[in-house]
């Protein structure tokens, strides 16, 4: 127990959300296709991305889980023998062949429609308190017009801790 008392206290050396945040986060438009969203998340190695409207305001979050649930519910391929909308029916269909069905779904239709935001001037300690209280991994930072300008993750908080 005495060893814990001798450890230095950690101090958050950021004053505001703007100090903590990673600026200009990658986001996806609500009207983007599911295929575009999947490419963004996998190509960038992201587990989630904020979804924005035409004005750049966050309207939700799209996660890999949202995409997986959507894919499971929809099904990704259709057996050739079950296809009813062929112009010319195939003469001979090999068993096991399938056709990818183009998914018309838009990101706004499958995103989680909740986004937690803070303003640029929100005190840093309140940002941390909100992340803990809401049990979230990211808080999105918005300007006075509510446009997305940054994101705060646990790594951002850790980067600003010093002994």
CA distance 92 to 78: 16
Q: What is the pLDDT of residue 104?
A: 86
Contact yes or no for 10/160 (Cβ under 8 A): no
Residue environment code for 23-33, b if the CB has 16+ CB neighbours within 10 A, otherwise e: eebebbbbebe
Averages of pLDDT over each 10 residues, the chain, 163 residues: 72 94 95 94 92 94 92 67 54 63 88 95 97 94 96 94 88
Of 33, 68, 77, 30, nearest to 50 by C-alpha is: 30
Q: Give residue limits of the domains in the chain.
A: 12-162
Q: Is the pTM of this model over 0.85?
A: no
Was domain 12-162 assigned CATH 3.10.580.10? yes
């Amino acid at each position: 127990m005495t060893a814990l008392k001798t450890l230095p206290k950690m101090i958050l050396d950021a004053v505001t959300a703007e100090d903590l945040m990673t600026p200009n986060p990658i986001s996806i438009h609500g009207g983007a296709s599911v295929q575009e969203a999947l490419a963004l998340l996998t190509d960038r190695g992201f587990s989630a991305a904020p979804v924005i409207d035409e004005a750049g305001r966050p309207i939700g979050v799209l996660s890999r889980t949202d995409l997986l649930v959507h894919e499971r519910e929809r099904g990704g391929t259709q057996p050739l023998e079950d296809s009813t909308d062929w112009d010319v029916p195939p003469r001979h269909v090999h068993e096991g062949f399938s056709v990818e069905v183009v998914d018309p779904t838009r990101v706004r239709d499958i995103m989680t429609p909740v986004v937690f935001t803070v303003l640029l001037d929100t005190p840093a300690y309140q940002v941390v308190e909100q992340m803990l209280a809401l049990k979230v991994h990211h808080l999105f930072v918005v300007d006075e017009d509510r446009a997305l300008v940054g994101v705060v993750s646990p790594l951002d908080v850790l980067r600003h801790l010093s002994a």
